[in-house]
Amino acid sequence: MAALAVVVREQKSLFQQKIYMEEKLTGKIQVYTGGGKGKTTAALGLSIRAISQGLNVKIVYFDKGGDFYGERKILDFLVKNNYPISYQATGLPRFNPTTQKFRFGVTDGDKEEGERGLKIVKEIFASPEKTAILILDEINPALNLGIVKLSEVLAILRSKPEKMELILTGRNAHKEVIALADLVTEMKPVKHYFDQGLSARKGIEY
């Protein structure tokens, strides 16, 4: 009887371990939103942690055209040195770092770039074994501005490969996106130096 009890305990332990591994390998949907600073920064921090553990990370930037985003220089370095991370940027330039001016409004070109971003996501979904974590940077405001359609974004969330972690960033996350998410973090602006008239700083904001 004692030997049987040991076998039962061992089988139970193996079963629990199997369940744990299945849960561990099930990708979740995370949303980083809110009016405070740090949403893209948080996603990039997670990506550094992930590639350090050997996980393959892909980033799709929405409505973020231009080559002045500082983090892309280090991303290029990581790609060049064969780290498991890559990115694709979509969107027409909005911010001019020289004049510190931002372009508002949505053009047909912006919408075409949004569609291109969604197409890239679908292509990544088609080979899920190649990606552990997919970051859709600034897709929330792209949705809020009408650059991408709600129906298409919800379809992407619902068709996410089971083991892939999906991270959506940007303010004004849609309530239906929040409803489908497993984790939602809202960055709240308690105090910001922009209110004192400080402009965006190279290496800090971009």
Average pLDDT over residues 83-97: 92
Backbone angles phi, psi at 166, to 5 degrees: -120, 125
* 157 found inside a domain: yes
* 179 found inside a domain: yes
* 193 found inside a domain: no
Given a contact cutoff of 8 angstroms between Cβ atoms, the answer to whether 146 and 181 are in contact is no
CA atoms in the 13 A half-sphere facing the CB of 124: 26
DSSP result, 25-85:
TS--EEEEESSSS-HHHHHHHHHHHHHHTT--EEEEESS--SS--THHHHHHHHHHTT-SE
Average pLDDT over residues 28-40: 96
Which carries the bigger pLDDT value, residue 168 or residue 205? 168
pLDDT at 95: 80
3 pLDDT higher than 80: no
* 16 found inside a domain: no
- Distance in angstroms (rounded) separating the CA atoms of residues 177 and 89: 22
Which carries the bigger pLDDT value, residue 155 or residue 20? 155
* 64 found inside a domain: yes
5 pLDDT higher than 60: no
Query: Which of 89, 77, 78 has the alpha carbon at shortest distance from 139?
Result: 89
* 107 found inside a domain: yes
User: Residue 122 is part of a domain; what is its CATH number?
Assistant: 3.40.50.300
Cα angle 199, 102, 136; round to 5: 100
Given a contact cutoff of 8 angstroms between Cβ atoms, the answer to whether 46 and 175 are in contact is no
* 196 found inside a domain: no
- Distance in angstroms (rounded) separating the CA atoms of residues 4 and 1: 5
pLDDT at 6: 43
Average pLDDT over residues 142-159: 98
Instruction: Domain of residue 109: give its range.
Output: 25-187
DSSP result, 158-171:
HT--TT-EEEEESS
21 pLDDT higher than 50: no
pLDDT at 11: 58
Which carries the bigger pLDDT value, residue 168 or residue 206? 168
* 176 found inside a domain: yes
Tell me the pLDDT tens digit for each residue of 100-132.
788 899 999 999 999 999 999 999 999 999 999
pTM: 0.82
Which carries the bigger pLDDT value, residue 16 or residue 185? 185
Average pLDDT over residues 82-111: 91
pLDDT at 159: 98
> Looking at the 3D structure of the chain, how many domains does it have?
1
